[in-house]
Amino acid sequence: MAEIRTVAVIGAGTMGRGIAHVAALGGYRTVLEDVLPAALRKAQDEIRGNLDKAVELKKVSASDATAALDRIEYAGSPEEAAREADLVIEAVPEEMESKIEIFTLLDKVCRPGTILASNTSSLSVTEIASVTYRPKKCVGMHFFNPVHKMKLLEIVRALETDEETISAAAEVGGRMGKE
């Protein structure tokens, strides 16, 4: 199984910034993307605020919070965010057209072994994966809101998802503190 070192998160809304927060806290180099600069600024402020609160409540050490913040990078395009990623988690609005557009683009710009995950809660991961040349490397990783507090992670197998991809998603989820 390929080692996951870099996680890209596409979409810096509520779910995307929460996923970036737990990915960085889990020790991953994390690239959070949004095409709207204001969304990235808001995400950066909220992640910092949530980590500061976790330190205050003694749920996270100050050094772990600082290290997590240092692991997060910001990108203004999916191409820039995903190019070097080992795992890309899409967290755009819950519209099939948007998710298909993102997965089509990611399939073109990511390395062949990169895992593509969707944070969808209700759409078909099989349908989303079908627009790629890597359906075996596509999976659903449905996080629950607020991501930095909720322990549950739903891993959704698409029709062609292979065992290695399921195992990698579970391992990443574990490092993020998810069950």
> Mind telling me the catalytic residues?
142
Query: Closest Cα partner for 92 from 106, 108, 80?
Result: 106
Torsion angle in degrees (nearest 10) through CA of 67, 68, 70, 72: 160
Contacts 24+ apart (CB under 8 A), 33-37: 33/8, 33/9, 33/74, 33/75, 33/76, 33/77, 33/78, 33/80, 33/81, 33/82, 34/76, 35/76, 35/77, 36/12, 37/76
| Dihedral class, residue 138 (left if φ above 0, else alpha if ψ from -120 to 50, else beta) | beta
